[in-house]
Amino acid sequence: MPAAPDKPVLLTGASGNLGRVLARELAARGWTLRLTDIAPFPDALPPRAAFTRLDLADGVGLLRLAEGCGAILHFGGISVEQPFGTVLGPNIQGLYHVYEAARREGARVVFASSNHAIGFHERPHGNAAKLDVDCAFRPDGFYGLSKAYGELMGRLYWDKHGVENVNLRIGSCFPEPTDARMLSTWLSYADLVRLCEAAVTAPRSGHCVIWACSDNPASFWGRDHRDRIGWQPQDSAEAWRAKVGQLTSGNPVTERYQGGGYTAMDYTRRTPSPRDAFEID
Protein backbone atom coordinates (compact mmCIF):
# COMPACT_ATOMS: atom_id res chain seq x y z
CA MET A 1 0.00 0.00 0.00
CA PRO A 2 1.50 3.42 -0.95
CA ALA A 3 2.25 5.88 1.82
CA ALA A 4 -0.35 8.56 2.49
CA PRO A 5 0.21 11.80 0.56
CA ASP A 6 2.25 14.46 2.35
CA LYS A 7 -0.29 17.18 1.54
CA PRO A 8 -4.06 17.22 2.11
CA VAL A 9 -6.31 15.96 -0.68
CA LEU A 10 -9.52 17.77 -1.62
CA LEU A 11 -12.46 15.49 -2.46
CA THR A 12 -15.45 17.08 -4.19
CA GLY A 13 -18.75 15.22 -4.34
CA ALA A 14 -17.93 13.75 -0.94
CA SER A 15 -21.59 13.21 -0.01
CA GLY A 16 -22.33 11.04 -3.05
CA ASN A 17 -22.15 7.26 -3.09
CA LEU A 18 -18.61 7.08 -4.48
CA GLY A 19 -17.43 10.08 -2.49
CA ARG A 20 -18.51 8.44 0.76
CA VAL A 21 -16.64 5.24 -0.15
CA LEU A 22 -13.49 7.20 -0.98
CA ALA A 23 -13.71 9.34 2.16
CA ARG A 24 -14.01 6.28 4.38
CA GLU A 25 -11.36 4.14 2.70
CA LEU A 26 -8.74 6.81 2.05
CA ALA A 27 -9.06 8.13 5.60
CA ALA A 28 -8.46 4.58 6.82
CA ARG A 29 -5.20 4.66 4.84
CA GLY A 30 -4.05 7.70 6.79
CA TRP A 31 -4.93 10.41 4.27
CA THR A 32 -5.73 13.96 5.37
CA LEU A 33 -8.92 14.89 3.51
CA ARG A 34 -10.85 18.05 2.84
CA LEU A 35 -14.35 16.98 1.90
CA THR A 36 -16.90 19.15 0.12
CA ASP A 37 -20.32 18.81 -1.47
CA ILE A 38 -23.44 20.88 -2.03
CA ALA A 39 -25.29 18.35 0.16
CA PRO A 40 -24.51 17.65 3.84
CA PHE A 41 -22.09 14.82 4.55
CA PRO A 42 -24.38 11.98 5.74
CA ASP A 43 -21.83 9.93 7.69
CA ALA A 44 -19.67 10.47 10.73
CA LEU A 45 -16.53 12.31 9.66
CA PRO A 46 -13.53 10.00 9.32
CA PRO A 47 -10.31 10.81 11.19
CA ARG A 48 -8.16 13.57 9.62
CA ALA A 49 -11.12 14.76 7.52
CA ALA A 50 -12.95 18.08 7.54
CA PHE A 51 -16.17 18.82 5.64
CA THR A 52 -17.22 22.14 4.08
CA ARG A 53 -20.58 22.53 2.38
CA LEU A 54 -19.95 24.31 -0.90
CA ASP A 55 -21.49 24.83 -4.33
CA LEU A 56 -19.06 24.28 -7.21
CA ALA A 57 -20.27 27.63 -8.58
CA ASP A 58 -18.36 29.29 -5.72
CA GLY A 59 -14.97 29.64 -7.34
CA VAL A 60 -13.48 31.72 -4.52
CA GLY A 61 -14.64 29.22 -1.92
CA LEU A 62 -13.11 26.37 -3.90
CA LEU A 63 -9.80 28.24 -4.18
CA ARG A 64 -9.73 28.60 -0.41
CA LEU A 65 -10.54 24.93 0.17
CA ALA A 66 -7.75 23.86 -2.19
CA GLU A 67 -5.04 25.94 -0.48
CA GLY A 68 -2.10 23.67 0.37
CA CYS A 69 -3.63 20.58 -1.29
CA GLY A 70 -1.47 18.31 -3.42
CA ALA A 71 -4.36 16.75 -5.34
CA ILE A 72 -8.06 17.24 -6.07
CA LEU A 73 -10.27 14.18 -6.45
CA HIS A 74 -13.09 15.71 -8.47
CA PHE A 75 -16.20 13.55 -8.02
CA GLY A 76 -18.62 16.48 -7.71
CA GLY A 77 -21.30 17.69 -10.10
CA ILE A 78 -24.29 16.12 -11.84
CA SER A 79 -23.75 12.35 -12.00
CA VAL A 80 -26.63 11.22 -14.24
CA GLU A 81 -28.28 12.35 -17.47
CA GLN A 82 -30.13 15.65 -16.99
CA PRO A 83 -31.24 18.54 -19.23
CA PHE A 84 -28.44 20.71 -20.57
CA GLY A 85 -29.28 23.66 -18.32
CA THR A 86 -28.98 21.46 -15.22
CA VAL A 87 -25.64 20.00 -16.28
CA LEU A 88 -24.11 23.29 -17.43
CA GLY A 89 -23.33 24.93 -14.09
CA PRO A 90 -21.89 22.12 -11.96
CA ASN A 91 -20.20 20.10 -14.73
CA ILE A 92 -18.85 22.89 -16.94
CA GLN A 93 -18.36 26.03 -14.86
CA GLY A 94 -17.69 24.02 -11.69
CA LEU A 95 -14.95 22.05 -13.43
CA TYR A 96 -13.31 25.30 -14.51
CA HIS A 97 -13.17 26.36 -10.86
CA VAL A 98 -11.54 23.04 -9.95
CA TYR A 99 -8.84 23.46 -12.59
CA GLU A 100 -8.16 27.04 -11.64
CA ALA A 101 -7.65 25.92 -8.04
CA ALA A 102 -5.35 23.13 -9.22
CA ARG A 103 -3.36 25.56 -11.37
CA ARG A 104 -2.82 27.94 -8.48
CA GLU A 105 -1.78 25.19 -6.05
CA GLY A 106 0.22 23.07 -8.51
CA ALA A 107 -2.13 20.20 -7.60
CA ARG A 108 -2.94 17.10 -9.64
CA VAL A 109 -6.58 16.60 -10.68
CA VAL A 110 -8.14 13.14 -10.62
CA PHE A 111 -11.32 13.60 -12.66
CA ALA A 112 -14.29 11.25 -12.44
CA SER A 113 -15.02 11.01 -16.15
CA SER A 114 -17.39 8.40 -17.56
CA ASN A 115 -17.92 5.78 -20.23
CA HIS A 116 -20.79 8.02 -21.35
CA ALA A 117 -18.22 10.32 -22.98
CA ILE A 118 -17.84 7.55 -25.61
CA GLY A 119 -21.23 5.87 -25.20
CA PHE A 120 -22.28 5.89 -28.86
CA HIS A 121 -19.45 3.60 -29.90
CA GLU A 122 -20.93 0.20 -30.68
CA ARG A 123 -20.18 -2.74 -28.42
CA PRO A 124 -17.50 -5.11 -29.73
CA HIS A 125 -18.68 -8.58 -30.76
CA GLY A 126 -16.71 -11.75 -31.41
CA ASN A 127 -13.13 -10.94 -32.35
CA ALA A 128 -13.79 -7.22 -32.86
CA ALA A 129 -11.13 -4.96 -31.40
CA LYS A 130 -11.79 -3.37 -28.06
CA LEU A 131 -11.93 0.39 -27.78
CA ASP A 132 -8.70 2.24 -26.89
CA VAL A 133 -8.60 5.54 -24.99
CA ASP A 134 -7.49 7.51 -28.03
CA CYS A 135 -10.84 6.81 -29.71
CA ALA A 136 -13.11 9.66 -30.78
CA PHE A 137 -15.46 11.10 -28.18
CA ARG A 138 -19.03 9.96 -28.91
CA PRO A 139 -21.08 11.18 -25.92
CA ASP A 140 -24.52 9.68 -25.40
CA GLY A 141 -26.18 12.66 -23.70
CA PHE A 142 -25.53 15.99 -22.03
CA TYR A 143 -23.95 14.27 -19.04
CA GLY A 144 -21.53 12.37 -21.29
CA LEU A 145 -20.86 15.56 -23.24
CA SER A 146 -19.82 17.29 -20.01
CA LYS A 147 -17.41 14.44 -19.28
CA ALA A 148 -15.82 14.76 -22.73
CA TYR A 149 -15.48 18.48 -22.01
CA GLY A 150 -13.86 17.65 -18.68
CA GLU A 151 -11.22 15.47 -20.30
CA LEU A 152 -10.51 18.22 -22.83
CA MET A 153 -10.21 20.73 -19.99
CA GLY A 154 -7.53 18.49 -18.52
CA ARG A 155 -5.76 18.38 -21.88
CA LEU A 156 -5.81 22.19 -22.06
CA TYR A 157 -4.53 22.72 -18.53
CA TRP A 158 -1.74 20.17 -19.06
CA ASP A 159 -0.63 21.69 -22.37
CA LYS A 160 -0.91 25.31 -21.25
CA HIS A 161 -0.15 25.19 -17.54
CA GLY A 162 1.45 21.80 -16.80
CA VAL A 163 -1.41 20.74 -14.51
CA GLU A 164 -1.23 16.95 -14.22
CA ASN A 165 -4.56 15.15 -14.49
CA VAL A 166 -5.79 11.56 -14.44
CA ASN A 167 -9.13 11.03 -16.15
CA LEU A 168 -11.05 7.98 -14.94
CA ARG A 169 -13.59 6.79 -17.50
CA ILE A 170 -15.77 5.07 -14.93
CA GLY A 171 -17.90 2.18 -16.21
CA SER A 172 -20.48 1.07 -13.62
CA CYS A 173 -19.32 1.44 -10.03
CA PHE A 174 -21.69 -0.45 -7.74
CA PRO A 175 -21.36 -3.03 -4.96
CA GLU A 176 -21.98 -5.74 -7.58
CA PRO A 177 -23.11 -6.04 -11.23
CA THR A 178 -26.87 -5.83 -11.71
CA ASP A 179 -27.30 -6.68 -15.42
CA ALA A 180 -25.50 -8.25 -18.36
CA ARG A 181 -23.92 -4.99 -19.53
CA MET A 182 -22.14 -4.64 -16.20
CA LEU A 183 -20.24 -7.86 -16.89
CA SER A 184 -18.29 -5.57 -19.23
CA THR A 185 -18.38 -2.23 -17.39
CA TRP A 186 -18.38 -3.03 -13.66
CA LEU A 187 -15.87 -1.36 -11.34
CA SER A 188 -15.75 -2.65 -7.77
CA TYR A 189 -15.52 -0.21 -4.90
CA ALA A 190 -12.20 -1.74 -3.89
CA ASP A 191 -10.75 -1.28 -7.38
CA LEU A 192 -12.00 2.32 -7.41
CA VAL A 193 -10.21 3.07 -4.15
CA ARG A 194 -7.00 1.44 -5.37
CA LEU A 195 -7.28 3.39 -8.63
CA CYS A 196 -7.67 6.75 -6.88
CA GLU A 197 -4.84 5.89 -4.52
CA ALA A 198 -2.53 5.14 -7.45
CA ALA A 199 -3.68 8.22 -9.37
CA VAL A 200 -2.81 10.54 -6.49
CA THR A 201 0.45 8.93 -5.33
CA ALA A 202 2.10 8.13 -8.70
CA PRO A 203 5.31 10.14 -9.10
CA ARG A 204 4.18 11.49 -12.48
CA SER A 205 0.98 11.27 -14.47
CA GLY A 206 0.98 13.99 -17.11
CA HIS A 207 -2.39 14.00 -18.86
CA CYS A 208 -3.72 10.45 -18.94
CA VAL A 209 -6.97 8.54 -19.41
CA ILE A 210 -7.82 5.21 -17.78
CA TRP A 211 -10.70 2.82 -18.38
CA ALA A 212 -12.03 2.58 -14.83
CA CYS A 213 -13.42 -0.94 -14.77
CA SER A 214 -12.44 -4.10 -12.95
CA ASP A 215 -10.60 -7.03 -14.56
CA ASN A 216 -13.63 -8.13 -16.60
CA PRO A 217 -12.92 -10.55 -19.48
CA ALA A 218 -15.98 -9.18 -21.29
CA SER A 219 -14.79 -5.56 -21.08
CA PHE A 220 -15.49 -3.30 -24.05
CA TRP A 221 -12.21 -1.49 -23.52
CA GLY A 222 -8.57 -2.02 -24.40
CA ARG A 223 -5.42 0.07 -24.19
CA ASP A 224 -5.12 2.97 -21.74
CA HIS A 225 -2.52 4.71 -19.55
CA ARG A 226 -2.81 2.64 -16.37
CA ASP A 227 0.84 1.61 -16.44
CA ARG A 228 1.80 5.24 -15.98
CA ILE A 229 0.33 5.25 -12.47
CA GLY A 230 0.96 1.59 -11.64
CA TRP A 231 -2.66 0.44 -11.30
CA GLN A 232 -4.10 -2.98 -12.09
CA PRO A 233 -7.65 -3.99 -11.09
CA GLN A 234 -7.94 -7.00 -8.84
CA ASP A 235 -11.67 -7.82 -8.96
CA SER A 236 -13.84 -9.23 -11.77
CA ALA A 237 -17.51 -9.23 -12.72
CA GLU A 238 -17.36 -12.85 -13.89
CA ALA A 239 -18.39 -14.14 -10.48
CA TRP A 240 -21.89 -12.71 -11.18
CA ARG A 241 -22.32 -14.05 -14.72
CA ALA A 242 -24.77 -16.80 -13.72
CA LYS A 243 -26.82 -14.29 -11.74
CA VAL A 244 -27.05 -11.39 -14.22
CA GLY A 245 -25.83 -12.70 -17.58
CA GLN A 246 -29.36 -13.01 -18.99
CA LEU A 247 -30.58 -9.63 -17.69
CA THR A 248 -30.76 -7.43 -20.77
CA SER A 249 -33.00 -4.45 -21.50
CA GLY A 250 -34.72 -5.73 -24.64
CA ASN A 251 -34.19 -2.28 -26.20
CA PRO A 252 -32.17 -2.56 -29.44
CA VAL A 253 -30.59 0.89 -29.02
CA THR A 254 -29.55 0.21 -25.44
CA GLU A 255 -28.05 -3.15 -26.38
CA ARG A 256 -26.22 -1.86 -29.45
CA TYR A 257 -24.11 0.84 -27.84
CA GLN A 258 -21.56 0.91 -25.04
CA GLY A 259 -23.42 3.62 -23.11
CA GLY A 260 -26.42 1.35 -22.54
CA GLY A 261 -29.64 3.00 -21.44
CA TYR A 262 -28.31 6.55 -21.75
CA THR A 263 -28.14 6.12 -25.54
CA ALA A 264 -31.87 5.34 -25.74
CA MET A 265 -32.98 8.42 -23.79
CA ASP A 266 -34.74 10.87 -26.17
CA TYR A 267 -33.46 8.83 -29.13
CA THR A 268 -35.17 9.85 -32.40
CA ARG A 269 -33.06 8.34 -35.20
CA ARG A 270 -34.84 5.88 -37.47
CA THR A 271 -31.66 3.94 -38.26
CA PRO A 272 -28.43 3.56 -36.27
CA SER A 273 -25.62 6.06 -36.80
CA PRO A 274 -22.55 4.74 -38.69
CA ARG A 275 -19.71 3.03 -36.85
CA ASP A 276 -17.36 5.66 -38.26
CA ALA A 277 -18.31 8.88 -36.51
CA PHE A 278 -17.70 10.97 -39.66
CA GLU A 279 -19.52 8.87 -42.25
CA ILE A 280 -22.99 9.74 -43.46
CA ASP A 281 -25.88 7.27 -43.58
Active-site choice (143, 157, 189, 257): 143
The angle at the Cα of 250, spanning 246 to 254, to the nearest 5 degrees, equals 105
Written as one string, the DSSP assignment of 164-180 is: -EEEEEE-EESSS--SS
Task: For residue 96, indicate whether it is catalytic.
Answer: no
Residues in the chain: 281
Helical axes 142-161 vs 94-105, angle rounded to 10°: 20
Q: Specify the 3-state DSSP secondary structure of 181.
A: coil
The tally of CA atoms less than 13 A away on the side-chain side of residue 123 is: 20
Q: Let me know: does 90 contact 49? Beta carbons within 8 Å.
A: no
Of 230, 229, 193, 200, the closest CA to residue 214 belongs to 193
Q: Mind telling me the catalytic residues?
A: 143
